[in-house]
Amino acid sequence: MPTSTGSPKQLVLVRAVVLVRVIVVSSWHERDPPSRRSRSVCARTRGRPDGAYSRTQRVLLFASSRALPCVQLTPSARLGSRLLRRHPGRRAGDQTRRALATDRQPERASAAGQPGPALLVDSARYHAGARDAEATSIADAARLSRQGPGFVWVAVSQPAGGELDELSGCFDLPALAVKDALEGHQRPKLEQYGDCVFIVVKTVRYEEATGQLDIGELDVFVGARYAIVVSRSAGDVSGSIRRRIDGYPAVTALGPMAAVWAVLDTVVDDAERVTDLLLDRAQRIEQAVFQGDRDQSESIYLHHRRVDQLGRAVHPVLAVFDTLHRGEPVMSPDGVRALLSDASDHARRLSEEVELLSGRLDGLLSANLSRVTVRQNEIMQKVSAWAAIAAAPTIITGIYGMNFHHIPELTWPFGYAFALVVMVAAVWALHWNFRRVGWL
């Protein structure tokens, strides 16, 4: 191995580079025999086939090779996969593993050359209120929508950007609506893009055990021959929607607007169940406020925040119902319009309940603060009463404890007993008076 001499700064640089290379190679943690593990850094890394370390390792190795040419390291194509496959539990460096996982995803995507298939939850063609053909892929569903009567129902869960592009290309969906569906976190709304109607609604799910309120999103694309639901919710929302579509064949026979009713009715019913659970929780907090002694400000605030989240998901849906009730942007069949009107009434009642619950929690927070103030006043009254009781014998003891020679009671034979009687009488009188006024 060639050596080089130089200034102390160069020697420090060489040692730092060697240390970096040792850290990179030791993170591999390969199970080799002791004879192989005892080899030098150069021997362990020289001769590996060209490929790819993680991006972090490649940068460090390249920089060290440029600074220290005595050790030539070639990247290994199998280093990342062997590290994750053979030693998943080894602490080879969290940062290195994250870099490996990040690098391998773009490589797989570029090798595929096209977006992967979306997570198709359910897809079928409905004709005369019944499912007459099943679809196994997005392309198959698009083919069914162009063949035969009826409409195609498609439910997709948690799609990525490429998967939405595939869906958009097969059904010719509007680009702006697809962009909103990709970005997510949209306010509930209804928009029209030519022959396609785009509806966004929020789903709610409440875990009573943990007190966690999950807000999901449903993006609905409705055309003349299709109804597509893109779900970003943790619950089985698509299954509930399908049960409604299959359970009302007379309504399903009216076209894709039946799927719109099924979506909105499912969202409203789920929100009603969550509202009932939040109402029960509010009642338990009320009992804790008025029957317990602990401060419930934190519980009230957290519950109020959940109710506000529910209100932000429920209130804007009323505008969607109003637009559909006016026959905009598409006129719903009479059978679907009656069901939409019923769901709209439920949504309005639900919105009012959420507002009342929010106001109820505001009042409960004020009542809790008042209770805390009252308890503090009661504590101060008790402390003040006992301080006054203790002050009476203290005063008497202090008077007769002064070092004066001419205090008449000091030479009186009954002076000690008299002082004790006075102190006991003063304590009893004060205690009786404080109990009478309610301080003790």
What is the tens place of the pLDDT at every residue in 321-352?
Answer: 999 888 776 778 888 988 999 999 999 999 99
Answer whether residue 101 shows pLDDT above 90.
Answer: no
What is the reported pLDDT for 86? 39
Q: What is the mean pLDDT of residues 70-82?
A: 38
DSSP-derived secondary structure letter, 150 = S
How high is the pLDDT of residue 235? Answer: 74
Residues 267 and 221 occupy one common structural domain = yes
Residue-averaged pLDDT of the chain: 77
Q: How far apart are the first and last CA of the chain?
A: 91
Give the total number of structural domains in the chain.
Answer: 3
Which residue type sits at 243?
R
Work out the average pLDDT over 273-292: 91
CA 154, CA 163: separation in Å to the nearest integer? 13
Q: Do 277 and 293 have their domain in common? A: yes
Residue 231 sits in the same domain as residue 314? yes
1 within a domain of the structure (yes/no): no
In the chain, helix, strand, coil percent, each to 5? 60, 10, 25
Q: Are residues 90 and 189 in the same domain?
A: no
Q: Within this chain, do residues 107 and 139 fall inside the same structural domain, yes or no?
A: no
390 with 289, same domain: the answer is: no
* Residue 247 forms part of a structural domain: yes
Least confident range from 101-110, 125-134, 252-261, 335-344: namely 101-110
Q: Could you give the percent of the chain with pLDDT greater than 70? A: 73
Q: Which two tokens stand for residue 40?
A: 């030098």
Q: Is residue 150 one of the residues assigned to a domain?
A: yes
Distances from the Cα of 206 to the Cα of 21, 203, 209, 274, 277, angstroms: 51, 10, 9, 6, 8
The two structure tokens encoding residue 39 = 């080899």
pLDDT tens digits, residue range 5-57? 455 555 556 566 556 554 545 454 444 444 333 333 333 444 444 444 454 55
Count of CB atoms within 10 A of residue 306's CB?
Answer: 21
Q: Which of 371, 400, 419 is the last residue of a domain?
A: 371
- Single out the residue in 371, 396, 423 at which a domain terminates: 371
Of 125, 150, 148, nearest in space to 136 by CA: 125
- pLDDT of 260 > 50? The answer is yes
**pLDDT at position 52:** 43
Cα torsion 137, 143, 146, 149: sign? negative
What is the per-residue pLDDT for 293? Answer: 77
- Strands (DSSP E) contained in 103-148 are 120-127, 130-134
For residues 32 and 108, state if they share a domain: yes
The DSSP letter of residue 233 is -
CATH number of residue 386's parent domain? 1.20.58
Give pLDDT, residue 331.
74
Task: Assess whether 273 and 420 both reside in one domain.
Answer: no
Measure the CA–CA gap between 296 and 286, rounded to whole angstroms.
Answer: 9
What average pLDDT score do residues 371-380 get?
A: 85
58: domain range? Answer: 8-112
**Model confidence band, residue 263 (pLDDT cutoffs 50, 70, 90):** very high
> How do residues 160-176 score in pLDDT, each as one tens digit?
878 888 888 999 999 99
Rounded average pLDDT over 199-215: 91
Beta strands at 151-157 and 130-134: parallel, antiparallel or unpaired: unpaired
- What percent of the chain stands above pLDDT 90? 38
In the listed set 112, 139, 173, which residue is the last one of a domain according to the structure?
112
175-179, 208-212, 327-331, range with the lowest pLDDT:
327-331
- Same domain (yes/no): 197, 170: yes
Mean pLDDT computed over 310-331: 87
- Strand 226-232 to 151-157 pairing: parallel
Q: What is the pLDDT of residue 117?
A: 43
> 318 and 422: one domain?
no
Interval 399-417 mean pLDDT: 79
What CATH number has the domain bearing residue 273? 3.30.460.20
Same domain, 20 and 129: no
- Token look-up 């909105």 returns 264
Domain-located, residue 2: no
Contacts of 276 (CB under 8 A, 6+ apart): none
As a three-state string, the secondary structure of 242-258 is: HHHHHHCHHHHCCCCHH
Q: Is residue 83 one of the residues assigned to a domain?
A: yes
Average pLDDT (92-112) is 39
CA distance 185 to 198: 15
Alpha carbons 58 and 38: distance in angstroms, whole number: 23
pTM of this structure = 0.62
pLDDT band, residue 233 (cuts 50/70/90): confident
- Which residue type sits at 296? Q
Mark whether 352 and 404 lie in a shared domain: no
> Is residue 332 in some structural domain?
yes
108 pLDDT exceeds 50?
Answer: no
Query: CA–CA separation, 232 vs 160, rounded Å?
Result: 11
pLDDT at 404: 75
pLDDT band for position 217 (cuts 50, 70, 90): very high
Report the range of poorest mean pLDDT among 70-79, 337-346, 348-357. 70-79
